[in-house]
Amino acid sequence: MISDWYVWISLLKALILIGLILQVVPGMLFIERRGSAWMQNRLGPNRLGPFGIFQGIADAVKLIFKEDFIPEHVHKLFFGLSPFVSMLPSLITFAVIPFAAPILINGETLTFQVADLDVGILFTLAIVSLGVYGVMMGGWASNSKYAMLGALRSSSQLISYELSMGLAVVSMLMVYSHITLTPMVEFQGQALFTIAGITVPKWGFLLQPVAFIIFFTCTYAETNRLPFDLPEGESEIIAGYHLEFGSMKFASYMLAEYSNMLTAAGLTVTLFFGGYQLLPGMSWLLHSLGLSGMTYEWVRVAFQATAFLIKVGFFMWTFVWIRWTLPRFRFDQVMDLGWKIMLPLALLNVFVTALLIAGGVY
């Protein structure tokens, strides 16, 4: 039997998390547009509010008040359903990612993640694999050639890269020998080596650089971001799977894309960059504050959450950075990279990791 306390706390955490994700989306859109403008020596949206930061709100209001047009030739039920089907997995996945180490209040442990599931990372992989349905359903229900092409491209791309991503995660599981995310982050807090008083922690990308590269590439393919944005490919198939969607339905697809990016960044940080482990200098600052007891614990939680958000913010920026730096792949290049390079490399990495573990290196 689940206690009432647990239910209410979980509900509160879920609401805070969803609110946070939904808040990140307009902010990220603004950063993306200004960032791209900056990289291309343009101005970008700079009229509304200081530096144009209210542009996101204006866009949201515009999209809400636009006519919700449904074309004549679509499958009505699935056309209406598909934006939500694509949004749902992207909002659920973040549930298992910890923001800070658990805290002990009057003998009850409060974890800073919505659900500390026994299956941990497997839950994430399961929900990520559902993300393809929103795109497939949207493309199919639109009943138009371009949308269909986009949906087919997207589904084949997502299936191809899911495998390599899963295998990269497998090699991380072997190193951490834990399947839940909090012990993984705790593991990364250990010291790898110390040179001249500077301690280098056991962050995942130092232990498994190949797995990191594979995982990082696959997150770009999974989130349909450049250089893997073939499902949308506006110069080839106009807008791909969300071609027929307008107003809030289109906005839901955008929301799904950006919250997927957030989840991908959160997972990358948790698996490879020490999760909520403090950044260099932060632990010194925390100790020099000279706090103790519960005050110390809460300040520690705030520090860890800040460290986590800074790392996630960096990877969110990387998404923008890469999008406006690299051109789009051709479709055969995407498939070749996925099946002929990424998958064998990931398999080899798992094999080598097993050998290294057997040899006692990790």
Partner 1 sequence: MSPEAIFFYLFAVMAVAFSLVTVLKRNPAVGAFSLVLVFFSFAGIYAILGAHLVAALQVVVYAGAIMVLLIFVIMLLNADSPSLDMDRTHWTLRALSLAGCATLFAFFVWAFQNGSLFPQPGQFPPQRVAELGGSTKLISYLMFTEYLYPFEVTSALILAGIVGSVTLAKRQKVKRGKA
Taking CB under 8 A as the criterion, which residues in 164-203 touch partner 1?
179
* Contact window for partner 1 (CB under 8 A) among 128-136, 199-207, 211-219, 343-351: 128-136
Q: Does 256 bind partner 1 (CB under 8 A)?
A: no
Four-residue CA torsion sign, 23, 29, 34, 36: positive
Q: Does 95 bind partner 1 (CB under 8 A)?
A: no
Residue 62: count of CB within 10 angstroms of its CB? 11
Q: Does 332 bind partner 1 (CB under 8 A)?
A: no
* Contact window for partner 1 (CB under 8 A) among 65-73, 136-144, 254-262, 285-293: 136-144
Phi, psi of 24 (to 5 degrees): -65, -30
Q: Give me 360's structure tokens.
A: 């006692």
Given a contact cutoff of 8 angstroms between Cβ atoms, the answer to whether 210 and 304 are in contact is: no
Q: Does 339 bind partner 1 (CB under 8 A)?
A: no
* Contact window for partner 1 (CB under 8 A) among 153-161, 249-257, 305-313, 333-341: 153-161
* Residue 155 Cβ vs partner 1, minimum distance, rounded to whole Å: 6
Given a contact cutoff of 8 angstroms between Cβ atoms, the answer to whether 305 and 113 are in contact is: no
**Among the listed residues 74, 87, 136, 350, the single contact to partner 1 using CB under 8 A:** 136
> Could you give the string, one character per residue 276-305, with x where binding to partner 1 holds by CB under 8 A and - elsewhere?
------------------------------
In the complex with partner 1, the residue whose CB is nearer, 156 or 283, is 156
Q: Does 94 bind partner 1 (CB under 8 A)?
A: no
**What distance in Å separates the CA atoms of residue 47 and residue 54, rounded to the nearest whole number?**
9
Q: Does 12 bind partner 1 (CB under 8 A)?
A: no
* Residue 118 Cβ vs partner 1, minimum distance, rounded to whole Å: 4
H or E element: which one contains 59? helix 55-65
Please work out the total of residues on this chain that contact partner 1, with binding judged by CB under 8 A.
31
Given a contact cutoff of 8 angstroms between Cβ atoms, the answer to whether 34 and 45 are in contact is: yes
Given a contact cutoff of 8 angstroms between Cβ atoms, the answer to whether 308 and 275 are in contact is: yes
Q: Does 152 bind partner 1 (CB under 8 A)?
A: yes
Residue with token string 């929301």: 255
Q: Does 119 bind partner 1 (CB under 8 A)?
A: yes
**What distance in Å separates the CA atoms of residue 117 and residue 125, rounded to the nearest whole number?**
13
Q: Does 217 bind partner 1 (CB under 8 A)?
A: no
Q: Does 267 bind partner 1 (CB under 8 A)?
A: no
Taking CB under 8 A as the criterion, which residues in 22-81 touch partner 1?
75, 77-78
Q: Does 125 bind partner 1 (CB under 8 A)?
A: yes
Q: Where are the beta strands (DSSP E) in 300-360?
A: none
* Contact window for partner 1 (CB under 8 A) among 1-9, 21-29, 228-236, 289-297: 1-9
* Contact window for partner 1 (CB under 8 A) among 59-67, 127-135, 232-240, 241-249: 127-135
Given a contact cutoff of 8 angstroms between Cβ atoms, the answer to whether 156 and 224 are in contact is: no
Q: C-alpha angle 37/322/176, rounded to 5°?
A: 140
**Among the listed residues 112, 123, 315, 329, the single contact to partner 1 using CB under 8 A:** 123
Residue with token string 């900056």: 38
| Residue of 44, 69, 91, 36 lying closest to 255 (CA atoms) | 91
Given a contact cutoff of 8 angstroms between Cβ atoms, the answer to whether 142 and 181 are in contact is: no
Pairing of strands 103-105, 108-110: antiparallel
Q: Does 132 bind partner 1 (CB under 8 A)?
A: yes
Q: Residues interacting with partner 1, by CB under 8 A?
A: 1-2, 7, 75, 77-78, 117-120, 122-123, 125-127, 129-130, 132-133, 136-137, 139-140, 148, 151-152, 155-156, 159, 162, 179
